[in-house]
């Protein structure tokens, strides 16, 4: 565990959730954030933001309602964005974002359906359904939640209908439009993805978590080759190197010689550094606990960019998104 200095600040408006981030690089628009904001009745609506990370600017908001034929969308949220800075095919000024939604015409209980949006920030681009097919899942799917996208891939997780504890992760390839099931153990989920080597590379690193042999949730990091569909260097981690009930990686950002990660642990949020090892795999994890001062609950670690972790904390006034800058 580290005694590294952490500086805190609030971002977005009170009640808004931040779930994902990616550098953008345009003039005055250094980042794109994803999440949701409450609308009438308190239901979440998918939210994009483009602008400076801190302080966030009200002019950068873009709340969007997903558009699918024959479906009246009632709730929605974005989880992970990507920008043309990393993958130019998205188009200058555009964004690609994945998330989930529910709609009024669906049978009870209302399930989460996966979605992807690509286009301008005004919502006039292309909306694509990303529900995992039954033949890939191994049974009827009750919900699909895409969490992150980069390059040609999307990662997330799904649940089988009427089978508690059936969660598995998936990888979706936009080029072939094929889903691949990813299961390292019970309750496997994939929350973050990073494309190594830049645009056009087949090499990716994926992070998430699953329940290990001792019944404890482990965070995992692995490499994936989208050309061969080969998985390698699967490495698991527990918070501070000690067994705990929960360790889960929520997001990943590439840094020099490795990655920074956002994590959820027994102790709350954590910022994590993992370097590539000399053998090509992954080295030890360096943990920095993150807890917003004065929060009335546990701070979450939802996403990360370089040395900055973002999440949600609570105050007497309600929910607030925050930014933690790691010294």
pLDDT category of residue 84 using cuts at 50, 70 and 90: very high
Average pLDDT over residues 288-296: 95
Average pLDDT over residues 57-81: 96
| Rounded Cα–Cα distance for residues 252 and 247 (Å) | 15
Q: Indicate whether 216 pLDDT > 60.
A: yes
Average pLDDT score over the chain: 94
CA distance 255 to 249: 16
Confidence of residue 87 (pLDDT cuts 50, 70, 90): very high
**Global confidence as pTM:** 0.96
Give the model's confidence band at 163: pLDDT under 50 very low, under 70 low, under 90 confident, else very high.
confident
Query: What integer pLDDT is reported at residue 167 of this predicted model?
Result: 86
Give the count of beta carbons closer than 10 Å to the beta carbon of residue 155: 27
The proportion of the chain whose per-residue pLDDT surpasses 90, expressed as a percent, equals: 87
pLDDT of residue 29: 64
Average pLDDT over residues 183-205: 96
- Which residues are bridge partners to 159 per DSSP? 143
Residue 24 CA to its chain's centroid (Å): 17
Q: Assign 2 a pLDDT band (cuts: 50, 70, 90).
A: low
pLDDT score recorded for residue 214: 76
- Give the tens place of pLDDT for each residue, 171-190: 999 999 999 999 999 999 99
Map out the domains of the chain with their CATH numbers. Answer: 15-268 (2.130.10)
The confidence score (pLDDT) of residue 128 equals 98
Instruction: Concatenate the DSSP letters of all residues of 100-134 into one string.
Output: EEEETTSPSSP--EEEEEEE-TTS-SEEEE-PPPH
Would you tell me how many other CB atoms lie within 10 Å of the CB of residue 297? 12
Q: What is the pLDDT of residue 3?
A: 65
Kindly tell me if the per-residue pLDDT of 208 is higher than 80. Answer: yes
The pLDDT of residue 20 is 98
Q: Is the pLDDT of residue 1 over 60?
A: no
């Amino acid at each position: 565990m580290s005694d590294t200095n952490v500086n805190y600040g609030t971002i977005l408006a009170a009640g808004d959730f931040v779930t994902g981030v990616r550098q953008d690089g345009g003039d005055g628009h250094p980042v794109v954030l994803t999440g949701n904001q409450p609308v009438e009745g308190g239901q979440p609506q998918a939210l994009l933001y483009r602008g400076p990370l801190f302080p966030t600017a009200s002019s950068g908001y873009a709340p969007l309602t997903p558009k699918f034929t024959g479906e009246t969308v009632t709730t929605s949220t974005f989880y992970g964005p990507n920008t043309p800075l990393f993958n130019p095919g998205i188009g200058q000024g555009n964004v690609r974002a994945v998330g989930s939604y529910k709609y009024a015409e669906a049978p009870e209980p209302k399930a989460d359906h996966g979605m992807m949006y690509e286009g301008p920030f005004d919502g006039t681009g292309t909306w694509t359904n990303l529900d995992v097919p039954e033949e890939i899942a191994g049974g009827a799917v009750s919900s699909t939640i895409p969490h992150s996208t980069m390059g040609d891939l999307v990662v997330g997780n799904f649940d089988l209908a009427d089978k508690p504890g059936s969660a598995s992760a998936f990888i979706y390839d936009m080029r072939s439009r094929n889903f691949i099931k990813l299961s390292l153990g019970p309750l496997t989920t994939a929350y973050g993805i990073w494309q190594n080597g830049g645009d056009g590379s087949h090499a990716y690193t994926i992070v998430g978590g699953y329940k290990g042999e001792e019944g404890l949730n482990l965070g995992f990091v692995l490499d994936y080759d989208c050309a061969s569909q080969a998985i390698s260097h699967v490495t698991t981690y527990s918070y501070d190197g000690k067994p705990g009930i929960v360790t889960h990686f929520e997001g990943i950002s590439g840094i020099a010689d490795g990655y920074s990660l956002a994590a959820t642990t027994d102790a709350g949020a954590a910022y994590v550094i993992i370097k590539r090892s000399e053998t090509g795999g992954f080295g030890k994890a360096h943990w920095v606990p993150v807890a917003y001062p004065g929060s009335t609950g546990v701070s979450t670690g939802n996403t990360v960019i370089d040395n900055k972790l973002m999440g949600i904390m609570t105050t007497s006034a309600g929910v607030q998104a925050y930014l933690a800058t790691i010294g």
